[in-house]
Structures are given as structure tokens and as C-alpha cells.
A and B are shown apart, each in its own frame.
Chain A
Amino acid sequence: MKVIIPSPLLSYTRQQKEVDATGATVADVLDDLNRSFPGIRFRMIDEQDAIRPHMKIFVNGEQVFELNTALTSADEIHILQALSGG
């Protein structure tokens, strides 16, 4: 499925804004992303498997909060990261 990557993580995807990943859940997709782009998962997900405070994950336009959210191969994942701060 298609995964849209936010700009702060493009250094992991060799500047690709859209990448392909597979998995039956959001967690699986993030694991697959991490296999393709080592290190990317921990920048988004902490060691307690929580989505970091300023990251958001959308599936088909709807925000999801649980990594065990089920997916189908037709779904589109959009990862957002806040750019607030100074």
C-alpha cells in the first residue's frame, strides 16, 4: 500500500515522498517501513509502542490512534508530523 512520508523523515526514504509497504495492521506496515528504511520507526513510535506526541497517522483520511488498526492492501497511509516550535 501507499505510504506518504512527512518531510522530516525523507532522509530515511532517500527523499521519496511516497513509498510502498505491506502489512495487515499499522504496526506491521511500520515494521515493514523500518526494514526498508532502518531507524525510521523509532523516530515516530516510542519504545512503549505509542505514537510520538507530534506525529499523526491517517488511514484513508481518518486519523488512527492504535497501531493494531487493521488494514487492507487498498488502504493509503498518510503520516504527518507537526512542524511547530522554534
Chain B
Amino acid sequence: MKSAVKQKAEQKKSSAKKATPKSVTLLVATKKGGFILTSDPKRREWTTKGPLYLGNIVHHMMLDPRDGKTMLMAAKTGHLGPTVFRSTNQGKTWNEAAKPPAFAKAAEGEQGRTVDHVFWLTPGHASEPKVWYAGTSPQGLFRSEDGGDTWESVTGFNDHPMRPAWTGGGQDGTPDGPKMHSILIDPRDANHMYIGMSGGGVFESTDKGADWRPLNAGCKVDFNPDPYPEFGQDPHCVRLHPQAPDILYQQNHCGIYRIDRTAAGAENQWVRIGEKMPKSVGDIGFPMVLHPRDPNTCWVFPMDGTQVWPRTAPGGKPAAYVTRNGGKSWQRQDNGLPKQQAWMTVFRQAMTADAHNPVGLYFGTTCGEIWASTNEGEKWTCIVRHLPHVYAVEAVEF
């Protein structure tokens, strides 16, 4: 099967169209609002629109690739409740969702859950044009069937009898709350989904969210008494390859992993591929970015995960790392990036790729910079400075 994957990758590489390049649009979510950056077709000049909803904490912005028009923005302020803003004209105008994601009202005498913020937005399967999914903090899964205007609880997860155990308590989450993220839809089957939870691990459903099962075998929890529990892992970012959907990668709290769901006898087994990273850098980080056509190529952006976890570029020297062979080896990519005293962090949704050939890569930093590469990470250029703390960057083409 591996040879089939290689064959497919080579086929896709060679067939990558060299049509007139389109401009790229970056949807940038920040701690203080949303921004939309648009390039020229050569991806050299960029214009910035925004801020959108200045003062709102925006965790994610996403375009619906099925209609090319609908955008959703996950937002809240420091004290107001969470919501979703919607645009149906590529971000020109925005309105609030009529019914944002919210947990069900608890029965009298029972402790109810409340959504603190919407953290992740995923358009649904191509066969379900107006379906979207949202992941929240605390971990909850919500589904919209009207383009993000009204949201319903996915009870198969939110009311699953194992959910309290799977998600752990508040102590298992990030400092600003445990999060559901990386909602992945198998492009071959709308019923087949994955989710990632910090904490909790990776879970899979084959019935459109009606039931779930852990998918964490092989994924180490090096701080746990049992280093290989069934669940309780902390995947920071999970990606499914759109053209080879049996290949998934994850940047985990405890390393970089890959799984091949077609590998006989190992279809449920994650394999740590970060051990080939330089020891001085390690394989801890937040984002994971896949090449849009080659399932053996992906990028990570390591951070310092030692002792108290500074979560900064290791040694103050930021760099992306790329593998072009499914994790057998990694190459450092820091041309153009600061060589020292740069203590940035790239959050889990804040690094992405476009579909150009060569692929463009983009990442946003906790220091409010957006960096871009038009040659698959060979050289980096800072295209915008002085934005607020960047939470998410998504590349889209209209």
C-alpha cells in the first residue's frame, strides 16, 4: 500500500496544474479581531482588510469551499458569551448566527455545561452543502445544516456516556480551557469523521457522529503513569490528507505522529515520526500542515517543550521543519526568519498551505506577524507586522 501512496503522490505532483495562478486570501483570526489578507497572483504584494469585529477574540475563520462565498468566524469578547459571525459574500458584510453553538439546558438539579468559546470550524462533506461542524471549549461538537446560522448539539458525542472520561476535567485542558479541534471529514464518506481534543485524544466516528471510539494506540503520553492509555492524549493538531484520506498526521503534545489506516495490522496504530527531528529542537509544537497533493510531505513548527514549557521557538531561533518522506527525515527551513532572539510561538491553527505549485506556506505568530513562503518553505518573508496575537491562519482561493 505504501507504494500505492507513493505512486499516487507522484501522479498528483506531476499533474498539478500550472494554470494562471490565483491570488491567495488569508483569513487571519487574532485575539483582537479578524483580518483578511489578499495577495496578487504572484503572492508578493498583500493588502490587509480589517479589523473585523475589533475587540472580539477570534479563534478561527473559515471559508466554505463548496460555495466559495460563506465565511464563518468563531468569536467572543472577554466577558460576552460566545458566538459565530457569518458572511455570505466572501467577507464583505457580516451578521451574527441566529443560534450559536450551546449545550442543552441541564435537567433540574443537574450541573449543566456552557460553551466558553467556539474554537474550531469545519465545513462539512461536499455532498452536504450547508453543513458545518464546530468544536468548542469545553469540548463539545456542534453541527449546522444551514450554513452556520443555527447550530445543534451532536448528541452522539456531547451526551456520550464516556464523554466525561474521554474529555477529563478542566485540569486536562489548556490554560484557557480544554478544546475540541481538528474536526476532519473523510472526503469519501460524510459519515466518517475524526476529532481531536486537548485533552482527550483523537476519536473516530463512522456514523456521522452518532457514536465515537478512541484512536490513540501508539500515541505516547509521556507524563502519564500509563504512557499508552486508550485515551487522554493531547493532540495539538490533526490533519487528514485530502487526496489520501487514510493518511493522517498529528502534532501531539508528546511528539509528531503519522497513521496509515490501510496498513495491514497497524491500521489503528500511530507511529511516532518525530524522533528523527534534531534532539536540540525536539518534536513538540502546535501546528501540522500537509502538502495539498503529496501525502508524504508535511511541515511542523517546533516549540520549546522542555521543563515549564515556554512554548517559544527553541533557543529563540524559529524554523519550520519539513519531511518529504512521511517522517523518515526532516529538513530545517529558516531562510529569512530571525536568526536569534525571536521568541515567537505559532498556534495550532496558525499555519497553513495554499494549493499553488509550488505550495505557498503561511504562519502567524503570537507577536502579530504573518510570514509567507512561495516555495514550500525554502525562503520566508514577513508580509504583515503588528497585528494582534494570531490564533489562526487559513489560506483560501476564490
Q: A residues near B, CB below 8 A?
A: 8-9, 38-39, 42-50, 52-55, 81-85
Q: Which residues of B contact A43 (CB under 8 A)?
A: 80-81, 83
In the bound complex, do residue A9 and residue B79 qualify as a contact, i.e. CB atoms below 8 Å apart?
no
Instruction: Tell whether B271 is near chain A: CB-to-CB under 8 Å.
Output: no
A49's nearest neighbour on chain B, judged by CB, is B105
Q: State the CA gap A45–B354 with chains docked (Å).
A: 40
| Interchain nearest-CB distance for B277 vs A (Å) | 34
Q: State the CA gap A82–B77 with chains docked (Å).
A: 11
Known contacts: A38-B98, A39-B96. The answer to whether A46 contacts B79 by CB under 8 A is no
Q: How large is the interface on B (under 10, 10 to 19, 20 to 34, 35 or more residues)?
A: 10 to 19
Out of B83, B97, B104, B114, name the residue touching A46 (CB < 8 Å).
Answer: B114
B116's nearest neighbour on chain A, judged by CB, is A46
Instruction: Tell whether B225 is near chain A: CB-to-CB under 8 Å.
Output: no
Q: State the CA gap A35–B105 with chains docked (Å).
A: 20
In the bound complex, do residue B112 and residue A44 qualify as a contact, i.e. CB atoms below 8 Å apart?
no
Q: Which residues of B contact A81 (CB under 8 A)?
A: 79-80
In the bound complex, do residue B105 and residue A48 qualify as a contact, i.e. CB atoms below 8 Å apart?
yes
Would you give 5 A-B contacts (Cβ < 8 Å), ordered by A?
A39-B97, A39-B100, A42-B83, A50-B114, A55-B79
Q: Which residues of A contact B113 (CB under 8 A)?
A: 47-48
| Interchain nearest-CB distance for B331 vs A (Å) | 38
Known: A81-B79, A83-B79. 4 other contacts (CB 8 A): A38-B98, A46-B115, A47-B115, A48-B112
Instruction: Tell whether B228 is near chain A: CB-to-CB under 8 Å.
Output: no
| Interchain nearest-CB distance for A24 vs B (Å) | 21
Q: State the CA gap A85–B31 with chains docked (Å).
A: 12
Q: State the CA gap A43–B115 with chains docked (Å).
A: 11
Chain B 300-341 residues near chain A, CB threshold 8 A: none
| Interchain nearest-CB distance for B218 vs A (Å) | 37
Instruction: Tell whether B78 is near chain A: CB-to-CB under 8 Å.
Output: yes
Q: State the CA gap A61–B79 with chains docked (Å).
A: 22
In the bound complex, do residue A52 and residue B104 qualify as a contact, i.e. CB atoms below 8 Å apart?
no
B81's nearest neighbour on chain A, judged by CB, is A43
